[in-house]
Amino acid sequence: MTTFTAQLQGDILYIGLGAAADNPQIVRDAHSTILTLIQNQILTGGALLAIHGESSIIAAYGIAAQLTQRYDTIAVYDPKLSTYIVVTTHTTSYRIGDRLDLPHQGCPHPIKVALCGPPHTGKSCLREGLKQRLLAYHRQKIAPYPYIITACPDGEGAWFYGTAKTDPQLADQLKQTYKTKFTPEFAQQMAQWVNQTTRPLTIIDIGGKITPENTLILQEASHAILLWRDPLPTDDPSIDGLVDWQTYCDLLGLTTIAILKSDYSASIDTITSDSKPLIGTIHHLERGQDCSSRLTIEALATLLIQQLQSTHSNEPS
């Protein structure tokens, strides 16, 4: 099974990730797939090509190298803005950075799930494990692609987990380099991204404190996953506990999908309720470790898929 797919519909090239693989294989499959479309006279070149879908960053560079000389203008879909952005052009008809209002496969009622709770509970590890579990279901065509918005300026982008797995020291160095302050301007930008995305399932990783900045972001979300731990550190009185976070999410009108206790010293997960909200524990959330097969994460992914199916089944036909 290929790790990369591509299909041309009009001026839009829909791309996607297939079987799980590392970047060397994805790059090779992406190159082969695009080359086949060129050789079969499907990607013949022209005035405009819009690209929509999922790709690794490295594979995207390879695709660009194959296509930039064939098309006058290339635009790529940005899920955060729900529009296409011109990334290269050889004409005066467009400028780099222009937004193009072209058709896209947006979801009318997307689910936007925020990972909430106190700091240092393992939210980033939970995010990565849930993402990988949902990606596995996506490859089986059971779930949509899980889109992630890192709405906390802690320096841990989408790259962090993979880097920490292979080179923890480099990951920590880069995190400190990229870490910035949580400003009102940053919060406004994140809130706009959450508001405008129309992907079926978006997971939002927010900061670990109840603040006006997080409120601005969470007002644009629809659901929440609460991750907590006991005991909380006593040296920081500003850290809010589970009850505070539950009340906070309720006041913002978020539907709580799960309430999970992070138990670092445990060796197994436990589930006390598998309905909404899912209630249980998740054990030993550690950076660099694959937790996508944990009992609680599998149950959480299943619950999210059921929520998506329920939401879409109630949409008018």
Query: Does position 234 have pLDDT exceeding 90, yes or no?
Result: no
| Element of type H or E holding 137 | helix 123-139
Mean pLDDT of 43-59: 95
Q: Is residue 209 part of a domain?
A: yes
pLDDT tens string 251-302: 999 999 999 999 999 999 999 998 889 999 999 999 888 999 999 999 999 9
pLDDT, position 317: 42
In sequence order, the 6+-apart residues with CB closer than 8 A to the CB of 134 are 143, 145, 146, 201, 301, 304
> Whole-model pTM above 0.85?
yes
Task: Specify whether 158 is located in the same domain as 209.
Answer: yes
Distance CA(300)–CA(143), nearest Å, equals: 13
Amino acid at 29: D
CATH number at residue 35: 3.30.750
Which of these, 210, 197, 213, 220, lies nearest to 114 by C-alpha position? 220
Query: What value does the mean pLDDT of the chain take?
Result: 92
Domain that holds residue 209: 111-313
Distance CA(55)–CA(77), nearest Å, equals: 12
* Per-residue burial over 68-92, b = 16 or more CB atoms within 10 Å of its CB, e = otherwise: beebbbbbbbbbbebbbbbbbbeee
Task: Specify whether 63 is located in the same domain as 116.
Answer: no
pLDDT tens string 131-188: 999 999 999 999 999 999 999 998 887 778 778 778 888 888 988 888 888 899 999 9
Scan for tokens 């529009």, then name that residue.
83
| Domain final residue pick, 51, 78, 100 | 100
